[in-house]
Amino acid sequence: MSAGPPPDRRLGTVMLVLAWIVGLALAAQWFSGLEERRRNPNQQPMSLHVGETVEVHLERNRHGHYLATGQINGQPVTFLLDTGATFVAVPAALAERLQLVRGRPIMVNTANGLTESWSTRIDSLQLGDIQLHDVSAGIVPGIVGEDVLLGMSALRQLDFTQRGGEMILRQHLESNYE
């Protein structure tokens, strides 16, 4: 009569299976982080202070877009720079989590056509060391995903240039000499 493998062998098999599971989970996490870094190569935007100017250098992703991690009202968001957008456009689900107040209804023309949206104001918007205050924005239910379109209501407060695969945003700081 066979009693099966000895207990220490069963324990070894269980430990080997657990090691494989942990290894596969770590590999999956690493690869998902790699994919997110490819999609958004500016997860920690670099800032450079030059005199009275703050510069943020952004790298273009493999699809030719400029995505960057930033903050709205102190909460982390991913911005997609969109010089063709009139204002900062926040997806409705994200706007709710950020507790943005819906203002008057407005009609906006999106890639998906004309849609009803709501005006709102962003108290603070930060990208690297660039900080903007009281920014005009819209809550747009038709935006799929979580990316905030960083449109001209924010970008017109900055100087920006694009060369090759890099975009440089510049904010001229106010002098506080009294």
State if pTM tops 0.85: no
Q: 94 to each of 13, 135, 146, 156, how far by Cα in Å? A: 46, 17, 6, 23
Confidence of residue 112 (pLDDT cuts 50, 70, 90): confident
**What pLDDT shows up at residue 82?**
92
Taking 50 as the threshold, does the pLDDT of residue 91 lie above it?
A: yes
Gap between the Cα atoms of 23 and 113, Å rounded: 46
**What pLDDT shows up at residue 3?**
62
pLDDT digits (tens, 9 = 90+) for 1-45: 556 666 677 777 777 777 877 777 776 665 555 566 677 999 999
User: 86 versus 110: which is more confidently predicted?
Assistant: 86
- Give the residue from 127, 138, 135, 141 showing the smallest Cα distance to 78: 127
Residues whose CB falls within 8 Å of the CB of residue 111, separated by 6 or more in sequence, listed in order: none
